[in-house]
Structures are given as C-alpha cells and as structure tokens.
Amino acid sequence: MSEATLTSEEKRLLLAEILRQKTIQDETLWPLSRGQEALWFINQLAPESAAYNLMYAWRVKSELQIAALHRASQALVARHPMLRTVYAMSDGRPGQRILKQQNVTFEVTDASRWSDERLRAAVAEAAHRTFDLRQDCLLRVNLYTRAAEDHVLLLTVHHIASDFRSMVRLVEELFLIYGAERDGLSAKLPVIEWQYANYVNWQIDLLTGAEGERLWLTWQKEVAGSLPVLNLPTDRPRPSVQTYKGAVHHFQLSAELSRRVKDFARSEGLTLYVVLLAAFQTLLYRYTGQKDILVGSPFDNRSRAEFEKVVGYFVNPVILRAKPSGRLTVREFLQQVRRTVLAAFDCQDYPFPLLVEKLQLVRDPSRSPLCDVMFILQKPGGSDAAKRGAAQTSPLELLLLGEAGGSMSLHGLELEAFALEEEVSQLDLTWMMVDTGQVIYGYLPFNTDLFDRATIERFATHYQILLEGMIAEPTRRLRELPLVTQAEQQHL
C-alpha cells in the first residue's frame, strides 16, 4: 500500500510507530510538548527554584533490602524514557534527548543517631534540591536508615518528566520491581507500546490541523474582551517579580459535611467537582466583589487511550471563567459553573501555554499569566475523572498525597506517609480538595511573600461556612450566603 492510499488515521499510526522505534534506538533531539516548553522556560528564568519538583516521602516500617531497591530504581529509569531524558537548545528552541542509558541518582544516609528534627530538615533539603535539566537523571531516590525496620524513603522527580498520574504508575512499578528483585525473580510488567514522544507528535499534528483551529477559536471566544485580574487581598504588597516561596495549609471537612456535600451534588445532578469549585469561586467573589473571575484548573489531558499509561507531563491547565453576581441564586450559579466545566473539558487538548502566547497578553512579571489561583479536586484517574464524578481517591494516591494516616502494605513493605514541609508555591494560591471516601480534606499551597498562614486559615474557615450555606439553601442569592464565624460577626 502506498502512502498516498493511507487514511489520515493510518498515516498517524504509521508515523507514531516509526517515532516509537527511533526513540528507543536513537538519541535524537525531539521537540518538547507545549507544556514542557513552558516548564523549561520557567526553569531558565528561575533555575534555583524547586517549585516544579514532585516530591514524595514515606516511612518504611519494615526490613528493606537496599541493594534490591537500588536495582529496582535503576530498572525504572531503564524502563521509562522520560526519566533518562535531558534537555538542550537546538536552532533557538529547546529539545529533549532520550539517552540510551543513565544512572539513577540513589543516595543512602545513615540517620540512626539523628533527631526527628534533623531528619525532617534533611529530607526537606533533599526534596528541594534543584535538577540540572541538561544532564541530571530526573528520578532522585534518597533513603535515610534509622533502624533495621525504620527508614524514610524520598522520591523526587522534575515535573517536566512526570505528573501525578505518572507518579502513581512509577511508584506502583518501583515497589513491584523491588519485590521481584528482593525475591530473585523477574518482575512481570506490561510491554510499553507508547512513549511520550508519540504524544508530542500527536500534539503537533493536532495543533497544525483543523481540530487545532477549532479549539483555538473556541478558547478565543471564551477569553474574549478585557480579562480580569484577581484582586485578592494580600497581607503584603506583591513583589515586582513573581516569587515561588511557599507553605501549605491543611484543613478537613467533617465527615458529616463531606457526606452532605456529596448527597447535595447527587440530588442536583452535579459532580462533586462542580460543587466544590463553585464554592471556591463564590469565596473569591465575596472577597473581591469582582463579577468576572478567572480560575485555573489542571486537566489530565490524556484524551486518547494510547496515552493512559504513558509516563510524562500531560497535565494541562484550563481557564474556568466565572460570572458571579449577587442576584444569582446558588442553584443558578451552579448550573453556570457546570456549563463552563463541560465546555472546558471538550477543549482540554489545547495547550495553555499556546493560548497565552496567541492571546499576545501584556505580561506582568509579578503574576502568572491569565490566572493567579488554581482549583483541583484529586480523585482516582486524575482531575478529569473527578469532573466525571468517579469514586474516591485510592489508597496509593492518598499515600502519594502524604496525608496523615495514609498507610498501606505494598509488596512486603509497610509504608506510611511522611509529611514534607513544602517550601514552594507555583501560584498565589492553589485550592486542592481531596476526597478520601470518608472525608474531604483541603491542601492549600500559598505564596508566603503574599499571605500569612493565619490569612489562609481564615480563607479555609470561610470556605466551609460558604459551602454549608450553599447546600443548605440553594435558592439563596450569592450575596446573602453566610461567610464569617459568629465571633467575627460579633467583632464586626
């Protein structure tokens, strides 16, 4: 069959097959995805920042064979090309080169005589150590041994090589390979048929075709007109150049409120994502009085089945534009948010960095483009599954999220979450909600150059009050919803 007789889909599959073979055999310099390009440029602007380190730590409360763990870590790097990819410039643009072989960064430290404070400080320092994208292996493994059955294991990966869905896969495979290595067996893993380079090729084809033009026109209409800047009250003036210094505030909805919110979402024919997002947008409206608000929200962006199990950076922020008004009822606003989310889901394949580029915005170096705040609901299968109303987060995902009480047995190892003191924040504020099944908890990274912790704690309290008011009286207008505590009301 000649190339001329192939359908466009057959041509795409043929090109993908050629690309996959070349990636495995050659150290060719491939283009970056649009998302990777954005991360690469941020790294060039702030190479000292660890804002895009993905860091996960656990306490291992069982005997651990260090040599087997080292072999398993190296096998993981050999298996997944993105972990042995380096980045370089070519003809004025960044590119990625997949190395045939690269040694994993594996460090073992004797911490048997350390205090808990020293241990936590050392783990945090290692987690926030930056990567040199030009040469480093993008998987870093640190093991701190306390006793024969007491260790702290830290995995750090740069975001340009992975995302949360990818990390779940990497951790599953790491411990599966470890168990096999420990027992002198060969790990039974599925053959990797697709690589991230296939996704890059698919994205290029998409953006240069009719579908890419349709997506651009749709987003152009969505963000038409004068775009608002969120004037969220801060404790300190905004620095002239955006900073990434941060901390995290944790809070938890009660089991009763968590149940009532889910019941309310079901009764209204909505997803949990829409209800929690609408409450966050209402909070921003009540704080700022603005009737046009932009909130970012990351979608998994794995719209094709071929990419479901590929390790790489797929996550793509989309802009959710809300038009709250004091005259709108809760129920009316929820329907507005639902329509916005569904429209954004349909257009999730259009890269956020390209949208920013084509809008030709006047960039403010003190802010992120288009949005300063992000909303996330973490559920199994990624944020897209959350929008479709999937079941609660899996035990392994909870373990990766590092929440207190997270623990599980995995291939003969007893693991429990080890809380990391995070010192970075990618945005002014990220509002992440996590559904554990029994309760919903909040995980709020915030910029410490802008906010005090007490301010973010107050945000979380007001959010819960708003949420309760919304589900209790959905016919009430947004401006009438309760916001402050009784003590604050008396003070006012």
Confidence bin at 26 (pLDDT 50/70/90): low
Confidence bin at 383 (pLDDT 50/70/90): very low
DSSP letters, 76-143, are HHHH-GGGGEEEEEETTEEEEEE-S----EEEEEE-TT--HHHHHHHHHHHHT----TTT--SEEEEE
Mean predicted confidence (pLDDT) in 329-347: 97
Q: Do the beta carbons of residue 405 and residue 329 sit within 8 Å?
A: no
Q: So what's the pLDDT on residue 17?
A: 56
Confidence bin at 22 (pLDDT 50/70/90): very low
Q: So what's the pLDDT on residue 24?
A: 44
Whether residue 50 is predicted with pLDDT greater than 80 in this model: the reply is yes
**Max mean pLDDT range (131-145, 365-379, 420-434):** 131-145
* All structural domains of the chain: 32-192 (3.30.559.10), 223-394+422-491 (3.30.559.30)
Q: Which amino acid is at 183?
A: D
The Cβ-side half-sphere exposure at 221, using a 13 Å CA radius, reads 9
Q: So what's the pLDDT on residue 420?
A: 85
Mean predicted confidence (pLDDT) in 382-404: 60
Confidence bin at 487 (pLDDT 50/70/90): confident
Mean predicted confidence (pLDDT) in 379-397: 55
Whether residue 440 is predicted with pLDDT greater than 70 in this model: the reply is yes
Judged by average pLDDT, the poorest of 24-28, 389-393, 418-422 is 389-393
Confidence bin at 40 (pLDDT 50/70/90): very high
Whether residue 4 is predicted with pLDDT greater than 50 in this model: the reply is no
Whether residue 74 is predicted with pLDDT greater than 80 in this model: the reply is yes
The owner of tokens 């008396």 is 490
CA distances from 170 to 99, 253, 286, 325, 346 (A): 19, 30, 41, 44, 28
Q: So what's the pLDDT on residue 386?
A: 45
Judged by average pLDDT, the poorest of 281-295, 373-387, 457-471 is 373-387
Q: So what's the pLDDT on residue 403?
A: 62
Confidence bin at 485 (pLDDT 50/70/90): confident
Q: So what's the pLDDT on residue 378?
A: 86
- What does the buried/exposed string (b/e) look like for 54-78 if buried means 16 or more CB atoms within 10 Å of the residue's CB? bbbbbbbbeebeeebbbbbbbbbbe
C-alpha span between 158 and 133 (Å, rounded): 9
pLDDT digits (tens, 9 = 90+) for 200-251: 999 999 999 999 999 999 999 999 888 999 999 999 999 999 999 999 999 9
Give the sign of the dihedral formed by CA 168, CA 174, CA 177, CA 178: negative
Angle at 435 between CA 430 and CA 437, to 5 degrees: 170
Confidence bin at 98 (pLDDT 50/70/90): very high
Confidence bin at 477 (pLDDT 50/70/90): very high
Q: So what's the pLDDT on residue 486?
A: 77
Mean predicted confidence (pLDDT) in 335-358: 96
Judged by average pLDDT, the poorest of 13-17, 400-404, 448-452, 479-483 is 13-17
- Residues of the chain above pLDDT 70, percent: 90
3-state secondary structure of 390: coil
pLDDT digits (tens, 9 = 90+) for 148-158: 999 999 999 99
pTM metric for this prediction: 0.89
Q: Which amino acid is at 437?
A: G
Nearest residue to 459 via CA among 337, 341, 310, 282: 282
Q: So what's the pLDDT on residue 121?
A: 95
Whether residue 10 is predicted with pLDDT greater than 60 in this model: the reply is no
